[in-house]
Amino acid sequence: MAVATFKGPLNGEYHGKKTLERKNSGKRRVFVQTESGSVLGIELDRGDNVHTVKRKLRLALNVPTDESSLVCGDMVLKNDLSTVRNDSPLLLTRNFLHRSSSTPCLSPTGKDLQQRDQSGPIEVLGYSDQFARTKQLVVDIVKAIRNGIDPVPVHGGLGGAYYFRNCSGENIAIVKPTDEEPYAPNNPKGFVGKALGQPGLKRSVRVGETGFREVAAFFLDYNNFASVPDTALVKITHSVFNVNDGVKGNVHRNGKQASKIASLQQFIPHDFDASDHGTSSFPVAAVHRIGILDIRILNTDRHAGNLLVRKLDGGGRFGRVELVPIDHGLCLPESLEDPYFEWIHWPQASIPFSDDELAYINKLDPFKDSDMLRMELPMIREACLRVLVLCTIFLKEAAAFGLCLSEIGEMMSREYRGHEEEPSELEIICIEAKTLLDEEISYFEPKAGREEFLFELDSGEEELDLAPATEEKMKTERTFRCGSKDGNGRYLLSKLEESVEEGMDGHEGNELPPRSDDCVSVVQDRIPNVSKLSTSLKNISIGEKSWRHLGSMQKNGYLAGTSSGNRSVNEQRPMSSNFVMLADMNEEEWMRFLENFQRLLRPAFANRKAGNVGQRQRQRLGTSCQF
């Protein structure tokens, strides 16, 4: 595999004056990554298009570009590059599984490479004001490399990671190349087998896309509320990085420079992680703040190993400590996943939010957050942003209603029974909201020539067919975990309205100020109460075959390759089911879905407060992925 090399001077001057020069010249620069992990920085002239970018890639990296597409997040670039912003990372993906035998592979000279990739050894992608401290780290790292202090690989975890040091030999940053993640082509620990952009450890998090999620978590941690370390996406060149030899994944290090797209995070000195320390000494505020962030970003991997613990007073084991959350690569999935919240059963999570925490939550604006992430991380997918919006709304409404952190986390978590999993209360509310949206669309569409209406939920490997919403079938018994009990000890959503009235009458301190209902009046007239929302879900029974994940014994539920270390539970259980997909709605349907979703939240919260939801001890299957 050919990789772009950098032969210029190792200094940090590039991150100041040259950046301004590039801006003033009107030129833009992009970093194009192939599916095999090779990276090339390209200066775009005004007349450049997708064809010219592919030609430069073919010359510089000796890679085939026929039958391939240039992609930025959700957007497939046709030919015009005018919408691509400066310093955007792009991905070259193959349209077909087999390469064209007629594709020319030209051998570039050193001069060709020098002319086509003139970026520095470490380039921060983006111009956010929040990158000031990260850019200083970069300067310190480059100085250390120039003085012969090279980075060292991190031996733990499933993915490739490297400690970069300063001139004193101290670790100051940890770098995780996107093409060395688990499953990625250049993974150094044997976990290979997929190209960048394909489903990864989590089906809703693609291979090579954990890096920008790390940066997104940093951006969303306003005012360093949860203490997420400074994080940025970088293009970085060094000989320490791993490049595998062909498709077999044989580790091949030949000492040549390799350019990578990677996340770079400030290294935080610490005494141990949460798995080595009793949780009783953890500050309530720290647990709450990390939990608030985890809920917003639907963190699917908040285990004890990625909560660093630092002693503050230098005393014994039970002195004052602070918590630092790291490893957010499995947040913001493309669909609702089962989260893993290590803190969910900690006593601190059952303590009500403080006034300061409630004020912070109240000020959160998920729509502004989405706009910010689109600007700062143009490669982020819209499906990820919809998860952010949904979970932030859920957090805001739940906190305002009076639920504590553990209650919110439990409503978001699924229950596992053997190889079966049941949707969380949050997912059930979403299913209800989507069903209501289906009924609204059906109500306004012409009925002529229409025998039935079938609404499909995309669940990946299996599809859930919801029965037509006829008056006769609306009387069928349902078995959801919200509402009042049925004969089987389960709960029906159909009586939430009564639960709300009783719960609100007898529950002091949780009254919410009046808020406007944005739903269309004709919809209100047609569906006057919550009980009618749930009746079209006749065929859905939690715990029945329709909810089962049928691929429990399939090969693709396990990691490829072998590892000499301990395997995570992600290697032992099947990939998670998708009960609700948010990306299949257009913008208008998405906004109407959110209106319905918000209408259903207060009844569900009141029902939980009233004690009608069965308390269940979940089988904890989430665990460390340790990138």
∠ CA 4-99-76, rounded to 5°: 70
pLDDT of 419: 76
Residues 6+ apart with CB under 8 A from 250: 244
Using CA atoms, how far apart are residues 536 and 440, in angstroms rounded to an integer?
Answer: 13
pLDDT of 253: 56
DSSP structure string for 238-250: ETTS-EEETTTTE
Q: What is the pLDDT of residues 586-608, one digit of tens each?
A: 999 999 999 999 999 999 999 99
Q: Taking residues 582-586, report their average pLDDT.
A: 92
Q: Taking residues 536-555, report their average pLDDT.
A: 35
pLDDT at 227 over 60: yes
Q: Which position has the higher pLDDT, 94 or 389?
A: 389
Cβ atoms of 156 and 626 closer than 8 Å: yes
Instruction: Name the percent of the chain lying above pLDDT 90.
Output: 44
pLDDT at 567 over 80: no
pLDDT band at residue 330, thresholds of 50, 70 and 90?
Answer: very high
pLDDT band at residue 532, thresholds of 50, 70 and 90?
Answer: very low
- For the ranges 302-306, 416-420, 537-541, 577-581, the lowest mean pLDDT is seen at 537-541
pLDDT of 37: 83
* Residue 332 one-letter amino acid: L
Cβ atoms of 116 and 38 closer than 8 Å: no
Can you say how many angstroms the Cα of residue 458 is from the centroid of all Cα atoms in its chain?
Answer: 19
Using CA atoms, how far apart are residues 592 and 600, in angstroms rounded to an integer?
Answer: 13
pLDDT of 31: 87
What are the Cα distances from residue 608, in Å, to 112, 296, 349, 402? 65, 20, 16, 11
Cβ atoms of 519 and 600 closer than 8 Å: no
pLDDT at 570 over 70: no
Q: Which position has the higher pLDDT, 177 or 89?
A: 177
Strands annotated E in 403-540:
415-417, 420-422, 455-459, 462-466, 484-485, 491-492
Using CA atoms, how far apart are residues 151 and 121, in angstroms rounded to an integer?
Answer: 13
pLDDT of 118: 63
pLDDT band at residue 236, thresholds of 50, 70 and 90?
Answer: very high
pLDDT band at residue 456, thresholds of 50, 70 and 90?
Answer: very low
Q: Is the dihedral of CA 370, 391, 466, 456 positive or negative?
A: positive
Place of tokens 């005494």: 271
Q: Which two tokens stand for residue 46?
A: 């005004």
Instruction: Name the percent of the chain lying above pLDDT 70.
Output: 66
pLDDT band at residue 325, thresholds of 50, 70 and 90?
Answer: very high
pLDDT band at residue 575, thresholds of 50, 70 and 90?
Answer: low
pLDDT of 248: 47
Using CA atoms, how far apart are residues 7 and 109, in angstroms rounded to an integer?
Answer: 13
Q: Which position has the higher pLDDT, 8 or 30?
A: 30
Can you say how many angstroms the Cα of residue 594 is from the centroid of all Cα atoms in its chain?
Answer: 20
Tell me the pLDDT of the chain averaged across its residues: 75
pLDDT of 445: 66
Closest CA to 8 of 107, 92, 106, 118: 118
Q: Residue 43: beta bridge partners?
A: 29
Using CA atoms, how far apart are residues 448 and 110, in angstroms rounded to an integer?
Answer: 69
Q: Which position has the higher pLDDT, 208 or 472?
A: 208
Q: Taking residues 355-359, report their average pLDDT.
A: 97
Q: What is the pLDDT of residues 479-529, one digit of tens each?
A: 333 333 343 333 334 344 444 444 444 444 444 444 434 433 333 343 334
Q: Taking residues 395-401, report their average pLDDT.
A: 98
pLDDT band at residue 610, thresholds of 50, 70 and 90?
Answer: confident
pLDDT at 569 over 50: no
pLDDT of 299: 97
Q: Which position has the higher pLDDT, 623 or 279?
A: 279
pLDDT of 62: 74
pLDDT of 518: 40
Q: Residue 41: beta bridge partners?
A: 31
Whether pTM exceeds 0.85: no
Q: What is the pLDDT of residues 108-163, one digit of tens each?
A: 444 444 445 567 889 999 888 889 999 999 999 999 999 999 999 999 889 999 99
Q: Taking residues 93-108, report their average pLDDT.
A: 46
Can you say how many angstroms the Cα of residue 273 is from the centroid of all Cα atoms in its chain?
Answer: 23
Q: Are strands 415-417 and 162-165 parallel, antiparallel or unpaired?
A: unpaired
* Residue 233 one-letter amino acid: L
Q: Taking residues 375-383, report their average pLDDT.
A: 93
Using CA atoms, how far apart are residues 493 and 597, in angstroms rounded to an integer?
Answer: 14
